[in-house]
Amino acid sequence: MADAHPLERAVGVERYASETAGTGGRLRDAPGDFRVREIEDFDAEPGSESAGDYPHVVLRATLTDWDTNGFARELSNRLGISRERVNWAGTKDKNAVTTQLFTVRGVDPEDVPAVRDAEVEVVGRAGRNLQFGDLVGNEFEITVRDPDHPENADAITDELAAFGGRSGDGESSESGRPVGVPNFFGQQRFGSYRPVTHEVGLAVVRGDWEDAVMAYVANPSEHEPPETQAAREFVEETRDWGAAIEEFPGHLRYERTVLNRLAENGGRTEDDFREALETFPSNLQRLFVHAAQSYAFNRILSERMARGLPFHEPVEGDVVCFADTDAPGDLTIPDPDRLQHATAERADVLARHAERGRAFVTAPLVGTETELADGEQGDIEREVLADLGIEPADFDLPGEFHSTGTRRAILVRTNVDVERDPLTFTFALPKGCYATVVLREYLKTSPLDL
């Protein structure tokens, strides 16, 4: 297996599953090169229904070059309401064309404003807001610009089919060839140009709130503009919170908000620093801890790859989850609430379930209630957590930072349809899986090109 790009190794992704040299090329030259459409399990009632019974207006928005948080903020500002009243099932990045549902509580459909670069349709009303559990998956259509070796895509597909335990399924279907890739968390989970989100989260889990704040507002990256690097260096050297606000460019609003709170409360005690982090919206507070869990997960998967353990079937000691039989649509969704240990007596039976796509080997997104594996996989999990200086009990945290944890499938399977001229990939993934984790195997380039 080939070594990953250095920037990927910084977020725990050490290897590729395929050996063939990449196609090269770039993603997202234009937003239309990266199209995403959510697959949701959420029913809306007609817009004529009573606002008392159905207080949430349901919108379908096709966004060009908007990240989800940014659009929600713009929408709430235009409506003159708190952003906490705008909800969605999955977060999408900028520099793409994305289609997804939103719910907005306590507004009238006719009050929904026009927003630049957004096609917004009122779908109806609902009795509750959208939640992450309403997301089933995403459909992708992604174009690669200026590939050096587009012909390598076929050999990579063959290798990924073998990695996913599907080497015998060589025939293409209408939806493409079946492949499997390690279910890594993608670079955007941690920050593409400045991957520090997990560093903030690890500091939070260790109870070092000051380090968490400094990891976010200081800690400059060579990939940032010089003025931003200078601002981060200033706050790192001076701890003069009030003066630092003036150093930070206006678009770095989260940094400026954190610094403003530190200037107000003194920025001297751990409580001061925790209070500053709590100025983030609730979903972003959770994201810090989730990024720490994701980094540990990536490290665990990389070590499993290094040891040559299979991803498509369990070995003794693994923890396996079963498929969600109630999931709508054609996607196979792992259900982390249905776990079973692959004991010596059960490993072969569970392997047959995995071969049929009914079961999945898992690794932990560690939290207070997470089960760790036994056997060699258990050794890997405990060694990674010990190296990071964290343990499950450390996730017993205040407010939005608390996490009970779960387990997550280590392999994601999909059917990939590959077209040439231009090189275009079409596939669907279950919720929580990253299109760039599939595409990195094909391009084998810097994550900044993904």
List pLDDT tens digits, range 243-279: 999 999 999 999 999 999 999 999 999 999 999 999 9
Which residues form the catalytic set? 93
pLDDT tops 80 at residue 421:
yes
At 274 the pLDDT is 97
List pLDDT tens digits, range 46-74: 988 999 999 999 999 999 999 999 999 99
Bridge partners (DSSP) of residue 424 are: 143, 419
Alpha-helix runs per DSSP H in 252-334: 253-265, 270-277, 282-306
Q: How far apart, in whole angstroms, are the C-alpha atoms of residue 352 and residue 314? A: 10
Contacts of 279 (CB under 8 A, 6+ apart): 257, 258, 261
C-alpha separations of 269 from 210, 221, 299 in Å = 8, 27, 32
For residue 431, the Cα-to-chain-centroid distance in whole angstroms is: 9
At 326 the pLDDT is 76
Q: What is the mean pLDDT of residues 68-87?
A: 96
The contacts found for 236-245 with CB under 8 angstroms, 24 or more apart, are 239/267, 241/267, 244/217
Angle between helices 282-306 and 375-388 (to 10 degrees): 130
pLDDT tops 80 at residue 216:
yes
Q: What is the mean pLDDT of residues 128-147?
A: 95
Q: What is the mean pLDDT of residues 182-196?
A: 92
Q: Which amino acid is at 179?
A: V
CB-based contact 27:449 (threshold 8 Å): yes
Nearest in space to 403 (alpha carbons), one of 413, 414, 392, 419:
392
Say which residue the tokens 């990024």 belong to. Answer: 291
pLDDT grade for 242, boundaries at 50, 70 and 90: very high
pLDDT tops 90 at residue 328:
no
- Domains (ranges, CATH) in the chain? 6-25+147-183+412-449 (no CATH), 33-136 (3.30.70.3160), 197-280 (1.10.1510.30), 285-409 (3.30.2350.20)
Nearest in space to 37 (alpha carbons), one of 138, 130, 123:
138
Q: Which amino acid is at 272?
A: D
At 174 the pLDDT is 66
Q: What is the mean pLDDT of residues 178-204?
A: 94
pLDDT tops 70 at residue 137:
yes
pLDDT tops 80 at residue 367:
yes
At 331 the pLDDT is 83
Q: What is the mean pLDDT of residues 438-444?
A: 98
At 2 the pLDDT is 84
CB-based contact 389:211 (threshold 8 Å): no
Lowest-confidence segment of 66-70, 150-154, 157-161, 328-332 by average pLDDT: 328-332
pLDDT tops 90 at residue 170:
no
Q: How far apart, in whole angstroms, are the C-alpha atoms of residue 283 and residue 386? A: 28
* Helix (H), strand (E) at residue 216: helix 209-217
Q: Which two tokens stand for residue 95?
A: 């520099």
**What is the SS3 assignment for 97?**
strand
Q: How far apart, in whole angstroms, are the C-alpha atoms of residue 141 and residue 36? A: 7
Q: Which amino acid is at 88?
A: W
pLDDT grade for 171, boundaries at 50, 70 and 90: low
CB-based contact 385:411 (threshold 8 Å): no
pLDDT grade for 168, boundaries at 50, 70 and 90: low
Q: What is the pTM of this model?
A: 0.90
The edge-to-edge listing of strands for the beta sheet with 319-323 is 334-341, 319-323, 359-365, 406-409
% of the chain exceeding 70 in pLDDT: 98
Burial class (CB in 10 A: 0-12, 13-18, 19+), 447: buried
List pLDDT tens digits, range 219-233: 999 989 999 999 999
Nearest in space to 433 (alpha carbons), one of 202, 217, 205, 184:
184
Nearest in space to 417 (alpha carbons), one of 394, 437, 442:
442
pLDDT tops 90 at residue 1:
no
pLDDT tops 90 at residue 444:
yes
